[in-house]
Amino acid sequence: METITWLMKMTSSTSSKCKIMAAIVPKKDAPGVDLCGTDQYYYIVRSDVGCYMRSTNFNKGEDLDVFSLHPACSNGDHYLAYDDDLFYIIKGTSFRCVSDIGTDEGAIVCSLHPSCQGGDHYFSAFGNFYIVYQNQGVYRRTKNMTTYKDGIEYSLHPDCKDALYYYGIKDCYYFVRPHEEWGVQYYRCTNFNTNESGQASSFHPSVINFLPGGLGLTHGPSAGVWTCIKTIKNDSQNHTTWSNKVPVTQGFDKEKLSPIENNWNISASLPVETGLSALLTKSQFSLAPTYGGSNVNTDGENWKLTTIEETISVLLEPGKEAYVWQYQLSLGSDAVLFCRDLRFDDPNKPPVVIPLPPAKH
């Protein structure tokens, strides 16, 4: 318990929030994040929160299972899955091939052929591997990423160029487009050169919640706000010292975000004391404002919800008021993280300092 003493000469308070955008974070700005698929399942890999989601249908939000990601399979530059249920994790000029990214089973490491290196996106379909060079507007197809067998290069169709992610399953390609009039959608086709058999589908909200930046779309962008949690008045004609214990809430209000987990089957192997929603929220706060984040690092905050008592001692001049401000982070209109930092400042406007360190990108 800490005693805080301050001389207050303040009279009123106001606060405001900035209007911020929200969007799914593209592959280029989301290290260790990717989408891939096999014959039966679709996957979203989130190295930043140490887990991955598996689903049989992104549109209907069916069979949403979340598993822990094995450390050896984490932080890949790219992830793709072959139709024989093998996973490929690409790092630099080599790749790791495993049968299970949760256990690292059957791991083999191989070198990438020079013609398969430096891609912006990787995926597999129709028994081939594809490397997308998005800035060049081309993609390469090969039977083998080590030998570049039957390698050939094609131009990307204009409608297939500006994707956030590319992924494939056994018999088709997919790409995710930026948030548009109809929300976040993914497109299915059988040829990125001609855009044959193109078909658009929307992501289920339970899937959007797991994508980087998704909470900003489903709940609203995050914002850091100084909130007045206590007003102390001196109505007398004399100087007065006010001293008392003030209850202060600190930590993550899990109940406000726990509903996002209702449609997920979370594996017991995922060691998350405060819940997966806390990890995803922490990630959302770290994002740039463009993606609905606040660009702050909240690792030093208490993520377990608790109430403590702060002993505050204030010397008040006659007829004056004292204001105690707490920094809170919100998603949309709901404050969900109550920070440890308290301030005493001019009540005509909240403090301007951001008490949290910037996020590392």
Q: What is the pLDDT of residues 58-70, one digit of tens each?
A: 999 999 999 999 9
**Residue with the two structure tokens 């059988």:** 190
H-run or E-run covering 341: strand 334-343
Structurally, the chain folds into a number of domains equal to 2
Q: Does residue 135 contact residue 102 with C-beta atoms inside 8 Å?
A: no
State whether 186 and 40 are in the same domain: yes
> Given pLDDT bands bounded at 50, 70 and 90, which one contains residue 11?
very low
Confidence of residue 40 (pLDDT cuts 50, 70, 90): confident
- Is the residue at 357 inside a domain? no
The pLDDT of residue 348: 67
List the one residue out of 136, 137, 141, 103 whose CA is nearest residue 122.
Answer: 141
Q: Do residues 287 and 142 both lie within one domain?
A: no
Looking at the structure, tell me whether residues 223 and 172 fall in a common domain: no
How far is 116 from 88, CA to CA, in rounded Å?
13
Asked whether residue 96 is domain-assigned, the answer is yes
- Please write the tens of the pLDDT for every residue from 74-120: 999 999 999 778 999 999 999 999 999 999 999 999 999 999 999 99
Domain boundary among 172, 193, 212: 212
CA 142 to chain centre: 32
43 and 110 both lie in a single domain: yes
Confidence grade of residue 144 (pLDDT, cut at 50, 70, 90): very high
Q: What is the pTM of this model?
A: 0.90
CB atoms within 10 A of CB 351: 16
Query: Which tokens belong to 286?
Result: 């770290």
Determine how many CB atoms are found less than 10 A away from the CB of residue 328: 20
Q: In this predicted model, which residue has the larger pLDDT, 270 or 155?
A: 155
Q: So what's the pLDDT on residue 19?
A: 46
Residue 286 lies in a domain: yes
The answer to whether the beta carbons of residues 334 and 229 sit under 8 Å apart is no
Q: List the CATH number of the domain containing 168.
A: 2.110.10.10
Residue 171 inside a domain? The answer is yes
Q: Are residues 63 and 179 in the same domain?
A: yes
- 77, 188: one domain: yes
Q: Which pLDDT value is given to residue 3?
A: 38
**Does 9 share its domain with 61?**
no
Residue 72 located in a structural domain: yes
Are 202 and 296 in the same domain? Answer: no
Domain that holds residue 54: 27-212
Among 195, 212, 229, the domain boundary falls at 212
Domain match, 11 and 36 both: no
Weakest-pLDDT range from 119-123, 195-199, 231-235, 247-251? 195-199
**351 is a domain residue:** no
39-65 in b/e form (b: 16+ CB < 10 A) is eebbbbbbbbbbbbbbbeebeebeebe
Assigned domain for 188 exists: yes
Q: What pLDDT sits at residue 181? A: 78
What pLDDT, on the 0 to 100 scale, is given for residue 123?
Answer: 97
Shared domain check, 225 and 199: no
For residue 179, is pLDDT > 70?
A: yes
β-strands 265-266, 65-68 pairing: parallel
Q: Indicate whether 189 and 98 sit together in one domain.
A: yes
In contact, 267 and 214? CB cutoff 8 Å = no
Of 167, 195, 212, which marks where a domain is finished?
Answer: 212
In a domain, 355, yes or no: no
Are 248 and 332 in the same domain?
yes
